[in-house]
Chains A and B, each alone.
Chain A
Amino acid sequence: MNSTPLITRRHALQSAACGFGALALNGIATAASLPRGLHHTPRAKRVIFLFMQGGPSQVDTFDYKPKLQALDGKKLPFAPAKNLDPSSASQAKLLGSPWKFQQHGEAGLWGSELFPEVSKRLDDLCVIRSMQSKGQSHGQAVCMIHTGADNFVRPSIGSWISYGLGSENADLPAFVSISPPATHGGPRNYGSAFLPAEHQGTTVGRSGKLGKDATFRFLNAGADAADQSRKLDLLQAMNREHLERTRHAPVEGMIQSMELAFRMQREAPLVMDIENEPAHIKALYGIGDAVTDNYGRQCLLARRFAEAGVRYIQVSTPNVWDQHSELVKGHTKNAAAVDRPIAGLLADLKQRGLLEDTLVVWGGEFGRTPIVQGANGRDHNPQGFTMWMAGGGVKSGVAYGETDDFGYYAVKDKVHMHDLHATILHLLGIDHLKLTYRYAGRDFRLTDVYGEVVHGIFA
């Protein structure tokens, strides 16, 4: 029913345009952004970024350190990082991991019992154990991981990707952020800063929570389509008359974006409707189980966005990983909430052949200290931590880089957050040195003046 008036309007628009086509195309270009072109053959078409807000511990998950276990309770044999809280700096005592580690799969990568399901998929992962970032506090480090800047307002990585590649699906935004953080920079972490606003992330849900009816802002799936279509006809007729008189490109843009909005209103709810997924798929993600339901639905939604052609999908946990105390209690709970959903996502992407050109990235804004804070916690550690990637042109079943014997400082093949960003862009076919935007007289890029592509992890 809806398609008829839409086609009519399109015809009317084309005929009314009378040789005005070039301008119309320009209008669309500003509205929906055309790809700016790739710098080289991409290995991945899209990214799913699984953000563990608060900073999970590397030495309790994927960076096994026998020496840390052996010297549990002893003094760290070298100086702890600067700016540590006195409650950990004054003692500087090692805290062995409370979790057992074992090797998994054919490659024999180490994983702890915190992530039993993800550990089963270690053969699919490329574990980077030598991450480093900037920012000893969450505010800085969260902005760093998402925008490449710890203290200034810069476009987020998804916005850069949207700016660089545009959307694969004209009816959906190129960058979607599922339940993004409301704090620690909040919207800055999916914001476009000085890039055109169309590149900012479109959000669904908030603060790690995906409400059952969560949808895009101002999307009204319940609107009476026939009624709205009739209004739209009148509106567009008026707008076209206005365009005839003014020949003003932004008026043209507005007419186009009305059409786009109308289509999005129809398409987006279909993509976001996870209820119609078969039961076994929902089960795969842990949907229905109280512990894993929320993150499971986030992950399943991410897969659906990926399938529909969204370029960059951020999937955030709530800000829960910050275990300054009660490491065992906190990490146990947090890992349980995401382990099955993440493993489910990996399995589902793989069985659909999507993992080949979808890059999955997992990690927090920093890791945690191998030394104890207070009685039973760990402090922030941007000096050395673990993130992993899967699919999208990276090696599988390998570990890259090393921290020292205790998992504190990255010492070998260090991967700075800037390097990770450069690498993600590279996998998408973008040269991080060339993706620039002129603002206030300077060419800005995601990696500022830093960033080296980590070629060693490419398949």
Chain B
Amino acid sequence: MVRFWSSVSVRCLSSIPLLLALAAADSAAADGVAFFEGKVRPLLVRHCYECHSQEAGKQKGGLLLDRKEGWEKGGDAGPALVVGQPAKSLLMHSVRYEDEDLQMPPKSKMAPEEIRVLEEWIAMGAPDPRVESLAAAQPKKTIDFDVARQTWAYRALQQVPLPAVKDKAWPRNDIDTLVLAEIEAKKLKPASDADLRTLKRRLSYDLTGLPPNESEASSLTYEAYVERLLQSPAFGEKWGRHWLDLARYADSNGGDRNYTFYQAWRYRNYVIDSFNRDLSYYDFIREQIAGDLMPAKDDAQRRERMIASTFLSLGPKMLTERDKEKLHLDTVDEQLDTIGKAMLGLSIGCARCHDHKFDPISQRDYYALAGFLRSTEIVMGTRNGCVNVASWVEQALPKSGPAFAELKQKVDRLELAMRLKVERDFMETVAGKKALTKLPLAGVIYDEASAELVGNWKESKLSKNRFGDFYIHDDRKDKGVKKAVFRGALPETGIYEVRIAYPAKGNCDTQVPITVEAFDDVHQVIFDQTKKPSVGGLFEPIGRFHFEKGGRVNVIVNTGGTKGYVIVDAVQFISEKDIERESMALAMVNGSASGDPLLTMSSAALSKELNKQIDALKDADLAMAPRDFADAGDVNLRVRGEVNQLGPKVPRNFLSVLYRGPAPEIAAGSSGRLQLAEWMVSAENTLLDRVIVNRLWAKLFGRGIVSTVDNFGVQGEKPTHPALLDHLAQKFRASGGSIKTLIREMVLSRTYQLAAEGKSPRVTADPENRLFARHSYRRLAAEEIRDSLLQLTGELSTEQAAATALTYGEDLDDLMKLDKLMHRSVYLPVARNNLAPDLEIFDAANPEMTAGDRPLTTVPTQALYLLNSSFIQKQAATLAQQAYAQADAVTWLHQTILGRTPADAAAKRANDFIDQSGSDREKALADLAHVLLASTEFLFLE
């Protein structure tokens, strides 16, 4: 519409000349169309339609090239061409392969004559008779949030009256009533109650992950036993481990460099302690998202909360990623993915590149959330002096004393010295005698070749003191006309020192005018090119200026008003914080490093010292806690998820499907994680409650009410008992988020106490046990197997372990020897890419990602382990020694390992086995113990 009116107004203003022009244009237009049809269209069809046409059903990058409107509007990167200006057209840019990230056609470059055709076409005004409208191509699907808000996962918790049941005597609590109603609706009856021995074994493993203590189990009532187990420290060790599965907890980075997370263990123990003292789930969530920002009543609470926020930092990272913005955004993505799955049962990560294909999460939602986390510093600096390897944020915990700060400073200095050493050694191997080779290349340097030159400048190699192959000078001609413009681009926002390189000479000008167009202002500087440059004899600082990343960074060397030679060699931008580093390097290069002994140490000595200090540092009182970036703020949406394809800025906000209010007020320089945390635990966020109660249920009943415990989205399963799910969620909310209260209610239900069944009408009618009309069998978890093997011999330590990973050094790639650690398995080091074999083969959670539901695999390696592992054989031998002294060793072994006496036939078989084993009775008993430990009866709960 706008275009129409404007063209009409143009005609009205000057109709006569325009008519003439139109007549001439008519024939030109006909020629143009002929050119298009003859040369351009076939080319577009051949090279472009496959991915950019309605016919092919593809519109890659949002671009259609099968109609004029397609290239006019363009794709995600804007209009494909500028009519009449090939040089400014994105299309030409991409077919010429000028940018390695945007090359079209992607597989092979077009022939030069084809490229010329396109160029000519655009130059002649891009005549294009293809008038199909863009609207005729497929309209974009949008998310209907209002519809989504009505579905079971997102709507308000539903208050449903308890259903009537026929068998009124059966239920013991509301859970039972809700479950029984569904069973009766299917005309079935619940299974019989489990016998008490089976039930207590089930309960003991479910609540503590350990076999029952026989004397407690036999002396206490079921209810009293429930209380005993809930109060046991082993409860937190079992249920904390469930949370650690969700938090992708690990003691090492994995990814590209498997550096040890020395401080992660504090988080592990925080989780265990939180479950043991029944910390409100809402506080638990708050602290993990924003613990470092929360106020605290004392140092102890402050410590706890900082440690809790380690949750955000635990993910695997590609620390060698050279594009640091990508590294930051990948880290954000990993965090969003984990928060989404673990806390909300949503795959938020799917919306990074486009609106979620199935769930009501828009790409805008993603970047609204990403803003909170991109404002949070996780990765930073360098690790161990490796220039291209990023490290992560660690923060001193309160009460750590001054020792830590000193230590940290020393390590920082050592790392710096080490890096410089590496750089210097490297530079020394570089050929050439130019001064440059002795200078560490700090900051960003532009050689004269990258300047836009006005007028004729002369190349010279006269002086050896130069940057690069040569430098240029104005030859003292065309003063005022000649100038050299450097247009820079800086990686980070900040204060930079600008330096000019020139070989100083007596006939140079003493008052060279330089213009620095910085972010804040335009600055004029005059400087003297007869004076020897002060930095390395090559560069002279002209001042410090504020530049913004992506902002204006121009330095212009002028010749106006000068008389002597004006020389242009290079311009350097060095960040303020790199200047100290550089001066140290120069001192080192020049051998004038007397000030700092670090600079005269050999690489080997430095490395040794560094390792020593890092060793000391790993014992320091630190938390792997994040902190807010000083320049916290909203982030730009990234088109197709590409880091460098900026879309609009998206204000930080919560998920649209669950939140309709205005974007939260966030103070400048603050990430807004406090607000995010508050919203996460608000009653409005019904997913939080639904997801956690479902998880608790799944761990106790063998299957979630929503069986896809990490996915409450459309691709997940629907709840089998929606009323029960919401009932539990409301109870949980009303209890203030008490995990123990809900677990107690669940295990006291009659439903929990049902027998498991192999063959019954219930199994036939409901093989997956969606009705919970019987209990499910389950194999012991990896930790339960190892812990039981240690518990049976009396070797298991009940102590809480601290930093078990740190003795393995700076990376956890090497095989770990764990046989000396008698702690519960939850305390074993969790090395990414290198899990303890005893745990890994029985499906311990993969610490790379949220694992609400461990897969159950049955693979021969498990069988080989059960047959051959030295650990199980050692435990069997120990049990055999203990059995040897017993009057009835066979019965004792059955009782100890399986918790029951053998039936007569089984006892006879076992005794026969021993009798046929030859003379070594202890070995025979060890073999029997081995068999019992490897038996499915030991490995499965009923």
Instruction: Give the segment of A215-223, A284-292, A302-310, A344-352 that binds chain B.
Output: A215-223
Q: Given that A87-B426, A231-B927, A374-B430 are known contacts, is A139 also in contact with B255, CB under 8 Å in the complex?
A: yes
Q: Given that A138-B320, A235-B935, A248-B758 are known contacts, is A264 also in contact with B255, CB under 8 Å in the complex?
A: no
Nearest CB of chain A from residue B94's CB, rounded to whole Å: 14
Any chain A CB within 8 A of the CB of B97? yes
In the assembly, what is the distance between CA of A90 and CA of B427, in Å? 12
Question: Does A140 contact B940, Cβ atoms closer than 8 Å?
Answer: no
Contact residues of B between 438 and 469, Cβ < 8 Å to A: 441, 445
Any chain A CB within 8 A of the CB of B358? yes
Instruction: Give the segment of B77-85, B537-545, B852-860 that binds chain A.
Output: B852-860
Name the contact of A188 in the complex, choosing from B254, B710, B906 (C-beta under 8 A). B254
Any chain A CB within 8 A of the CB of B257? yes
Question: Does A153 contact B849, Cβ atoms closer than 8 Å?
Answer: yes
Name the contact of B109 in the complex, choosing from A250, A261, A264, A411 (C-beta under 8 A). A411
Name the contact of B256 in the complex, choosing from A139, A250, A257 (C-beta under 8 A). A139
Nearest CB of chain B from residue A161's CB, rounded to whole Å: 17
In the assembly, what is the distance between CA of A234 and CA of B316, in Å? 45
With both beta carbons as reference points, the residue of chain B lying nearest to A223 in the complex is identified as B868
Report A81-113 CB contacts with B as 1/0, cut-off 8 Å: 111011100100000000000000000000000
Nearest CB of chain B from residue A291's CB, rounded to whole Å: 27
Any chain A CB within 8 A of the CB of B813? yes
A334 contacts which chain B residues (CB < 8 A)? none
Any chain B CB within 8 A of the CB of A325? yes
Question: Does A442 contact B347, Cβ atoms closer than 8 Å?
Answer: yes
Nearest CB of chain A from residue B356's CB, rounded to whole Å: 9
Nearest CB of chain B from residue A246's CB, rounded to whole Å: 5
B864 contacts which chain A residues (CB < 8 A)? 216-220, 261, 264-265
Name the contact of A220 in the complex, choosing from B711, B814, B868, B927 (C-beta under 8 A). B868
Question: Does B756 contact A246, Cβ atoms closer than 8 Å?
Answer: yes
Question: Does B715 contact A441, Cβ atoms closer than 8 Å?
Answer: yes
B427 contacts which chain A residues (CB < 8 A)? 87
A27 contacts which chain B residues (CB < 8 A)? 858
A143 contacts which chain B residues (CB < 8 A)? 256
| Interface size classification for chain A | 35 or more
With both beta carbons as reference points, the residue of chain B lying nearest to A449 in the complex is identified as B353
Question: Does A254 contact B861, Cβ atoms closer than 8 Å?
Answer: no
B763 contacts which chain A residues (CB < 8 A)? 247
Name the contact of A440 in the complex, choosing from B347, B445, B758, B939 (C-beta under 8 A). B347
Question: Does B862 contact A257, Cβ atoms closer than 8 Å?
Answer: yes
Nearest CB of chain B from residue A424's CB, rounded to whole Å: 18
Any chain A CB within 8 A of the CB of B173? no
Any chain A CB within 8 A of the CB of B714? yes
Q: Given that A250-B856, A251-B936 are known contacts, is A151 also in contact with B716, CB under 8 Å in the complex?
A: no
Report B815-840 CB contacts with A as 1/0, cut-off 8 Å: 00000000000000000011001000
Instruction: Give the segment of B100-108, B413-421, B593-601, B675-683 that binds chain A.
Output: B100-108
Any chain A CB within 8 A of the CB of B321? yes
B interface, over-half SS: loop
Report B908-942 CB contacts with A as 1/0, cut-off 8 Å: 01100100110000000001101110111101101
Any chain B CB within 8 A of the CB of A459? no
A264 contacts which chain B residues (CB < 8 A)? 860, 864
Q: Given that A138-B320, A218-B869, A242-B936 are known contacts, is A193 also in contact with B913, CB under 8 Å in the complex?
A: no
B863 contacts which chain A residues (CB < 8 A)? 254, 257-258, 260-262
Instruction: Give the segment of A9-17, A50-58, A178-186 that binds chain B.
Output: A178-186
Question: Does A246 contact B868, Cβ atoms closer than 8 Å?
Answer: no
Any chain B CB within 8 A of the CB of A436? no
User: Which one of A196, A216, A228 has the greatest number of beta carbons of chain B within 10 Å?
Assistant: A196
With both beta carbons as reference points, the residue of chain A lying nearest to B934 in the complex is identified as A235
A440 contacts which chain B residues (CB < 8 A)? 341, 347, 710-711
A117 contacts which chain B residues (CB < 8 A)? none
In the assembly, what is the distance between CA of A143 and CA of B316, in Å? 13
Report A256-281 CB contacts with B as 1/0, cut-off 8 Å: 11101110110000000000000000
In the assembly, what is the distance between CA of A256 and CA of B862, in Å? 12
Q: Given that A31-B860, A186-B833, A198-B859 are known contacts, is A140 also in contact with B868, CB under 8 Å in the complex?
A: no
In the assembly, what is the distance between CA of A87 and CA of B388, in Å? 13
With both beta carbons as reference points, the residue of chain B lying nearest to A247 in the complex is identified as B758
How many of chain B's residues have a CB under 8 angstroms from any CB in A?
Answer: 89
Any chain A CB within 8 A of the CB of B113? no
Question: Does B861 contact A234, Cβ atoms closer than 8 Å?
Answer: no
Any chain B CB within 8 A of the CB of A243? yes
In the assembly, what is the distance between CA of A443 and CA of B384, in Å? 39
Question: Does B931 contact A234, Cβ atoms closer than 8 Å?
Answer: yes
Any chain A CB within 8 A of the CB of B791? no
Question: Does B860 contact A261, Cβ atoms closer than 8 Å?
Answer: yes
B358 contacts which chain A residues (CB < 8 A)? 441
Any chain A CB within 8 A of the CB of B429? yes
A140 contacts which chain B residues (CB < 8 A)? 256, 318, 320-321
Question: Does B777 contact A248, Cβ atoms closer than 8 Å?
Answer: yes
Nearest CB of chain A from residue B896's CB, rounded to whole Å: 16
User: Which one of B357, B930, B936 has the greatest number of beta carbons of chain A within 10 Å?
Assistant: B936
Any chain A CB within 8 A of the CB of B528? no
Nearest CB of chain A from residue B391's CB, rounded to whole Å: 15
Any chain B CB within 8 A of the CB of A321? no
Question: Does B940 contact A248, Cβ atoms closer than 8 Å?
Answer: yes
Q: Given that A140-B321, A231-B930 are known contacts, is A90 also in contact with B441, CB under 8 Å in the complex?
A: yes
Q: Given that A153-B848, A186-B258 are known contacts, is A239 also in contact with B109, CB under 8 Å in the complex?
A: no
Any chain B CB within 8 A of the CB of A39? no
In the assembly, what is the distance between CA of A433 and CA of B695, in Å? 33
Nearest CB of chain A from residue B582's CB, rounded to whole Å: 14
Question: Does A441 contact B359, Cβ atoms closer than 8 Å?
Answer: yes
Question: Does B347 contact A441, Cβ atoms closer than 8 Å?
Answer: yes
Question: Does A238 contact B833, Cβ atoms closer than 8 Å?
Answer: no
Question: Does A185 contact B106, Cβ atoms closer than 8 Å?
Answer: no
Any chain B CB within 8 A of the CB of A30? yes
In the assembly, what is the distance between CA of A232 and CA of B930, in Å? 10
Nearest CB of chain A from residue B226's CB, rounded to whole Å: 25
The 6 nearest A-B residue pairs measured at CB: A139-B256, A247-B758, A441-B715, A261-B863, A253-B858, A137-B320
A136-B322, A196-B855 provided; 20 other pairs, C-beta below 8 A? Answer: A31-B858, A82-B100, A82-B323, A83-B322, A85-B388, A87-B427, A137-B320, A139-B255, A183-B257, A186-B258, A186-B813, A197-B843, A231-B927, A242-B940, A246-B777, A257-B862, A261-B863, A374-B426, A413-B108, A441-B350
- Sample 26 A-B pairs with CB under 8 A, ordered by A number: A82-B100, A82-B323, A83-B323, A87-B426, A87-B427, A137-B388, A150-B318, A151-B318, A153-B846, A182-B814, A186-B254, A194-B846, A196-B855, A202-B861, A218-B837, A223-B867, A230-B917, A238-B932, A238-B936, A248-B758, A258-B866, A409-B97, A438-B715, A440-B341, A441-B708, A442-B357
Interface residues of chain B, those whose CB is within 8 Å of chain A, are: 97, 100, 106-109, 254-258, 316, 318-323, 330, 341, 347, 350, 357-359, 388, 426-427, 429-431, 441, 445, 708, 710-711, 713-716, 756, 758-759, 763, 777, 779, 813-814, 833-834, 837, 841, 843, 846, 848-849, 855-869, 906, 909-910, 913, 916-917, 927-928, 930-932, 934-937, 939-940, 942
Interface residues of chain A, those whose CB is within 8 Å of chain B, are: 27, 30-31, 81-83, 85-87, 90, 136-140, 142-143, 150-151, 153, 182-188, 191, 193-194, 196-198, 202, 216-220, 223, 227-228, 230-232, 234-235, 237-239, 241-243, 245-248, 250-251, 253-258, 260-262, 264-265, 325, 374-376, 383, 409, 411-414, 438, 440-442, 452
